[in-house]
Amino acid sequence: MAHHHHDGGHRAGHHHHDHTDIDWSEMAPHLEAQAELFTPLYEHAMAWLAKRQTEPGLIVDVGSGPGVVACLLADTFPGARIVAVDGSAPLLERARARAE
């Protein structure tokens, strides 16, 4: 891990972004729409991957959000077990609903 040192006492202006204050229920429709906008690109990537990858037993989509890509992976690899993982319960609910 790299450590960066700053001279001159600039610490007051530096802060870490805390994403725990984001309302993921409110953001979910935007995230879904954004992911769906890129679906043709994702499908192209899935087709490329399917030609190069034998049927995997397990695929884990970490940071899955509302599950758009996880569901595309499930369509591409129907024999695989797809696990969507996200730190937001509202987004996982949307992923679960999309998967059904």
DSSP-H helix ranges across 1-100: 24-37, 39-52, 68-76, 89-99
Range of the domain at 28: 24-99
Tokens encoding 78: 């129907």
Taking only the tens place, the pLDDT of each residue in 10-19 is: 444 555 555 5
pLDDT digits (tens, 9 = 90+) for 71-95: 999 999 999 999 999 999 999 999 9
- Whether 87 is in a domain gets the answer yes
Q: Is residue 67 part of a domain?
A: yes
List phi, psi (to 5°) of 59.
Answer: -125, 130
Rounded CA gap, 39 and 60, in Å? Answer: 19
Against a cut of 0.75, is the pTM above it?
no
Asked if residue 61 belongs to a domain, the reply is: yes
Q: Report the domain count for the chain.
A: 1
- Pull the structure tokens for residue 50: 């399917």
In a domain, 11, yes or no: no
4 in a domain, yes or no? no
The domain that contains 68 carries what CATH number? Answer: 3.40.50.150
Coil/strand/helix, residue 71 = helix
